[in-house]
Amino acid sequence: MPTAQNTARTWERNKSRKETRRARTQPVTPEQVCFPAAAQAMELRRLVVERGKKRESPPLLLLTSAPPDRWNARALLRARRDYWGIESTFHQRLDTTLDEDRSRVRTPNAAHALGLFRRLVVSVGHAWLERARQKKSRASLRTMVTTLRAAGARRALDLVTASAPQPWKHS
């Protein structure tokens, strides 16, 4: 039987759509779900109303190691929603634009250095887009690259975008 601890519902406007999320949790054991450290299962359902049409997504089933006495359904629902806030902004840029998920770099130092450069590129790109929005000009990657080249930032751009970086020769 559903209780306040194992069910939760949220309502919000998301991109001009009305969205309802419902979560139902149930305590589980690792043996029941054949997954190590599992403590709870959660069923997540979304209902989106856009232009008067209702669209319900298929249920999403999730497992977590968070114990029910510390993370109830409401806390898990909020954590799941907050996750997408991070993923859809910064990590999406790293994953799609810079293909970070398919990186074959495995040594910790190289992964750290490459990660720093990727984040530098995203930060520079974000600053560029914000500046273009403030000036109400058309913002694009091509425009950004052209401007950086004209501003004498060619070396930095080459270092960050090169597939096989070479040492710079001082001129």
pLDDT in tens, 162-171: 666 555 444 4
* Residue tagged 């359904």 (tokens): 73
Residue 111: predicted pLDDT: 85
pLDDT in tens, 51-86: 888 999 899 999 999 999 999 999 998 888 776 665
Name the residue among 45, 67, 69, 68 with its Cα closest to residue 57. Answer: 45
Q: How confident is the model at residue 118 (pLDDT cuts 50, 70, 90)?
A: confident
Residue 62: predicted pLDDT: 92
**pTM more than 0.75:** no
Whole-angstrom distance, CA of residue 46 vs CA of residue 121: 35
Phi and psi angles of residue 156, each rounded to the nearest 5 degrees, phi first? -65, -40
Residue 150 pLDDT exceeds 70:
no
Residue 78 or 161, more confident = 78
Residue 169: predicted pLDDT: 47
β-partners of residue 47 are: 20, 56
C-alpha dist (Å) from residue 86 to 43, 70, 91, 93, 142: 22, 23, 7, 11, 26
pLDDT in tens, 20-41: 999 999 999 999 999 999 999 9
Residue 30: predicted pLDDT: 94
pLDDT, mean of residues 147-154: 61
C-alpha dist (Å) from residue 79 to 25, 52, 64, 75, 86: 14, 29, 11, 6, 11
Which range, of 43-57, 85-99, 114-128, averages the lowest pLDDT?
Answer: 85-99
